[in-house]
Amino acid sequence: MITTRIRNILHHVAVAALLVWGIGALPAQAEDIPSAVPQTWQMLDYLATDYAGAVKDGAVISTSEYAEMREFTATARSRIAALPPTVATPALLQQADTLVASVEAKATPAQVATQAHALADALLQAYPVPTAPERAPDLARGATLYQNQCAACHGATGHGDGPAGLLLSPRPVNFTDQTRADQRSALSLYEVISQGVAGTPMASYAQQLSSDDRWALAYYVGSLAYAKEAVAGADTWQHDTAARAQIADLKELSRARVAQLTPTLGAERARTIVGYLRAHPDVIQQQALAGIPLARARLAASLTAYRAGAKTQATQLALSAYLDGVEPVEPQLNARDSALRAQLETSMGAYRSALSGNTPVESVVKQADAIDGLLVRAQEVTADAASDAAAIFLGAFTILVREGLEALLVVVALLAFLRKAARPEALRYVHAGWILALVAGGITWAIASYAISISGAGRELTEGLSSLFAAFVLLGVGLWMHQKSIGGRWQAYLKEKMAAALNRRSAWFLFGLAFISVYREVFESILFYAALWNDGQEVWLLSGIAAGAAVLGLIAWVLLRTSRRLPIGTFFSASSALIAVLAIALTGKGIAALQEAGWVAVSVAPVPHIELLGIYPTWQSLLAQLAILVLLAVGFVFNIRRGRQRLPSPPTTREVLPDAD
């Protein structure tokens, strides 16, 4: 039997989840992120670049520089600890501790740079802030600003030899030094211009220059070290697919560093492509790869990086191949060939797991070749999907029916239960939950379409964590309802319920469960529809949504009508079985979504993919579902044994809905 304490925990989790998922399902806006985030990022980036001037071959070569590096790592660690906690906080602190230890141990500059950049990237992923200009920077404007604002110190050509700079200590940075420039991104330079550098004559220009001007200046300064390479960059950008695979938009260009691209491209090619794109940032918006071509190119780039021994970069490229290449075209692919889409998900997940281990190169090559074959098929399938009205209609219809059925079953079970319990006053809480979820979904559509771009990883994390939460709650509800179906205990329950007022915590439990169950499905559907909406077949899309809504309405009517005719004991038994199945299905879907986001490894299992039941051919999802199944079996057996020991007499203690008292 579910204890009172467990029921109360379920209530508090439901309310907390309502706040987290109803308000925080979308990426945080820049104004919600503490100013400490960009400052901490800049500090880590500066550390990655300047540590080489403090330590060499395990010995300190500059006492003052080394003291500054130690101060930077300690300050960065304390600032991260002071940020609002997220699910990523423990990992961030662990990375920060590792970085502190490396600096204390006088580790090699390459090791410290890698760790500092990795922590900086993870920080931006956990606390998103703008990392790119809204439009391609104006390099002519940047050149003018440089001569007016920077040349006196850094020199007319950026060599750090300006007349005023010769009198400064420390001396101004030489922007033409390729060794140093290889470690800097345009974002690095933008943050220095915006924040300044403490302890140096470099002041902040955030008040004097607009954001567009600071980006223009950053891009211009970032191009000075690669002036010669940029001349040959046009041909490389046009014909080198591997190079084009590295940078797909302004955000990636702004964060790109030559040192980051070198393991895949080699130093010369990396300098050529970075130099060309920084000098001509408008090209990235006109000719960048997208969709399946981007996925294929990044798959090839990940294989190249793995061969070069850069496992971390190889895994990141492989994850990007799915999230940035395949995920945006999933709606079209799912409408035309859902089996191919499922095969791609599993194969690409298994490929990422292989990259993370010590898998032989020959085996990885075979996996990459097989995936590339699937991507070629996917490219053919989606090539004419945008002009296929029937595919758009069918895709819109199946998405709504597939995603909405699970939420519908939960809501119908709650409504039917309350009617059986003669509790009409509680119905409004369930209705309020699913209606608010639909409203939140509409807001999500508007934000996803017009305000921000919801990343593939953010989407999968939202779906995965909300699915696992819903599965946890349904596990408790299913066991509770099964308990009431045994030994005539439903009679005592209903007798007590019909005479008692609805407990407020019970009402919020119903509201929260209805909201979470519906919103997680709406969230996924909305992002599918937002992608299909851009295909120019809005009428067929809306027709498919309307048809799907009609089918779901008919199913709801049939289920509610059927439940009224069921004997109360049979209703409790059937409902507990249904909710148990939903809990198992949601567990599988939650794990699968976390696998797609790169949070959980993928080990292929020899089982069929059954989307409706949340069965995926991976051992991780199957074992999680098995754990839920074992908990349900143990709970059901316990309920049966407990029920046989008790008579169906009126209860001696007050019983309420599953979360109260």
Specify the pLDDT at position 272: 93
Specify the pLDDT at position 275: 92
Lowest mean pLDDT among 88-97, 205-214, 344-353, 534-543: 534-543
Are 85 and 105 within 8 A, CB to CB?
A: no
pLDDT band with cut points at 50, 70 and 90 for residue 219 = very high
pLDDT, tens digit, 9 for 90 and up, residues 407-448: 787 788 778 777 776 777 778 888 888 888 888 877 766 665
pLDDT band with cut points at 50, 70 and 90 for residue 645 = low
Residues 6+ apart with CB under 8 A from 576: 478, 479, 481, 482, 485
Strand extents, DSSP E, 233-293: none
Cβ neighbours of 451 (radius 10 Å)? 11
Q: What string of H, E and C letters represents the secondary structure of 461-478?
A: HHHHHHHHHHHHHHHHHH
pLDDT band with cut points at 50, 70 and 90 for residue 24 = very low
Task: Taking residues 99-122, report their average pLDDT.
Answer: 91
Instruction: Please provide the average confidence, as pLDDT, over all residues in the chain.
Output: 78
Task: Taking residues 139-152, report their average pLDDT.
Answer: 93
Specify the pLDDT at position 402: 74
Could you tell me which residues are beta bridge partners of residue 604? 618
29: amino acid identity, one letter: Q
**pLDDT more than 70, % of the chain:** 79
Task: Taking residues 116-126, report their average pLDDT.
Answer: 88
Specify the pLDDT at position 652: 39
Specify the pLDDT at position 1: 36
3-state DSSP percent of the chain in helix, strand and coil, to 5? 75, 0, 25
Specify the pLDDT at position 655: 42
180: amino acid identity, one letter: R
Rounded-to-integer distance, Cα 134 and Cα 285, Å: 11
Query: Furthest-apart CA pair in the chain: how many Å?
Result: 96
Are 47 and 188 within 8 A, CB to CB?
A: no
Task: Taking residues 472-476, report their average pLDDT.
Answer: 73
pLDDT, tens digit, 9 for 90 and up, residues 26-69: 334 433 455 788 889 888 988 888 898 899 989 999 898 899 89
Better-scored residue on pLDDT, 398 or 140: 140
pLDDT, tens digit, 9 for 90 and up, residues 443-465: 766 665 554 455 555 566 666 67
Q: Which of 192, 227, 225, 223 is nearest to 209 (CA)?
A: 192
Are 393 and 543 within 8 A, CB to CB?
A: yes
Residues 6+ apart with CB under 8 A from 384: none
Better-scored residue on pLDDT, 383 or 384: 383
Alpha-carbon 210 to chain mean position: 31
Query: Per-residue pLDDT for 16 more than 60?
Result: no
Specify the pLDDT at position 25: 37
Query: Per-residue pLDDT for 96 more than 70?
Result: yes
Are 600 and 460 within 8 A, CB to CB?
A: no
Q: Which of 261, 271, 268, 354 is nearest to 310 (CA)?
A: 261
Query: Per-residue pLDDT for 93 more than 90?
Result: yes
pLDDT band with cut points at 50, 70 and 90 for residue 239 = confident
Cβ neighbours of 212 (radius 10 Å)? 14
Task: Taking residues 300-316, report their average pLDDT.
Answer: 85
Rounded-to-integer distance, Cα 350 and Cα 356, Å: 10
Helix, strand, or coil (residue 195): helix
Q: Is the peptide bond before 608 cis (omega within 30 degrees of 0)?
A: no
pLDDT band with cut points at 50, 70 and 90 for residue 271 = very high
Lowest mean pLDDT among 37-46, 225-234, 526-535: 526-535
Residue 207: burial class (beta carbons within 10 Å; 0-12, 13-18, 19+): exposed
Q: What is the pTM of this model?
A: 0.62
Specify the pLDDT at position 4: 39
Q: What string of H, E and C letters represents the secondary structure of 54-122?
A: CEECCEECCHHHHHHHHHHHHHHHHHHHHCCCCCCHHHHHHHHHHHHHHHHCCCCHHHHHHHHHHHHHH
Better-scored residue on pLDDT, 198 or 546: 546
318: amino acid identity, one letter: A
Specify the pLDDT at position 15: 36
Rounded-to-integer distance, Cα 389 and Cα 532, Å: 11
Helix, strand, or coil (residue 510): helix
Specify the pLDDT at position 152: 92
Are 218 and 83 within 8 A, CB to CB?
A: no
Specify the pLDDT at position 154: 93
Lowest mean pLDDT among 275-284, 577-586, 646-655: 646-655
Query: Per-residue pLDDT for 19 more than 60?
Result: no
Give me 52's structure tokens. Answer: 């080489």
At residue 113's C-alpha, the angle toward residues 110 and 118, to 5°, is 125
Tell which phi-psi region holds residue 309, choosing left (phi > 0), alpha (psi between -120 and 50) or beta.
left
Helix, strand, or coil (residue 537): coil
Specify the pLDDT at position 458: 59
Task: Taking residues 620-629, report their average pLDDT.
Answer: 89
